Structure 1
Amino acid sequence: MKQICVFILVLALTSCEYFNAKKTTPEAILNEELQTFNWNDVDVYPTFSECDSIETKNGKTTCFTEVLTTHILEKLQKDSIVVTQDVTDTINLKFQVSETGILSLLNIDTDSLIMKEIPNIEALIYSSLDSLPKVFPAIKRGQQVKTEFELPVIIQAN
Structure 2
Amino acid sequence: MSPQKNRNFTRRTGVMKRYVYFLLFILISSCSFFESKQKRTQELINEELRHIDWNSVDSYPFFYTCDETATKAQQKICFEETLISHFQETLNDFEFTLTDKESETAAVIFVIDTLGRINVTDIEKDASVLTQMPEFDGVITQSLKNLPKLAPALKRGIPVNTKYRIPVQLNTN
Q: What is aligned with 2:86?
A: 71
| Superposition CA RMSD, Å | 2.4
Query: Given the two structures, how large is their TM-score scaled by the length of structure 1?
Result: 0.73
Would you say the 8 A contact 1:65–1:151 is kept in 2? no
TM-superposition CA deviations, 1:27-59 (whole Å, max 9, x none): 111111111111111100111123227823233
| 1:157 Cα deviation from its structure 2 partner | 4.9
User: 110, 123, 132: which one pairs with 1:108?
Assistant: 123
* Bigger-Rg structure (1/2): 2
Specify whether residues 53 and 36 from structure 1 end up closer, same or farther in structure 2 by C-alpha distance, changes over 3 A only.
closer
Q: Which runs of 5+ in 2 are unaligned?
A: 1-35
| 1:139 Cα deviation from its structure 2 partner | 0.7
User: 54, 58, 77: which one pairs with 2:73?
Assistant: 58
Q: What is aligned with 1:35?
A: 50
State the secondary structure of the residue aligned to 2:110: strand
Is residue 2:135 matched to residue 1:120? yes
- Letter matched to residue 68 of structure 1: L
Would you say the 8 A contact 1:93–1:151 is kept in 2? yes
Would you say the 8 A contact 1:96–1:104 is kept in 2? yes
User: 144, 150, 153: which one pairs with 2:159?
Assistant: 144
State the secondary structure of the residue aligned to 2:122: strand
Identity among equivalent positions (%) equals 34
Would you say the 8 A contact 1:47–1:135 is kept in 2? yes
State the secondary structure of the residue aligned to 1:50: coil
Specify whether residues 132 and 117 from structure 1 end up closer, same or farther in structure 2 by C-alpha distance, changes over 3 A only.
same
Q: Which runs of 5+ in 1 are unaligned?
A: 1-21
Query: How many equivalent residue pairs?
Result: 137
Higher fraction of helix? 2
User: 41, 45, 49: which one pairs with 2:64?
Assistant: 49
State the secondary structure of the residue aligned to 2:92: helix
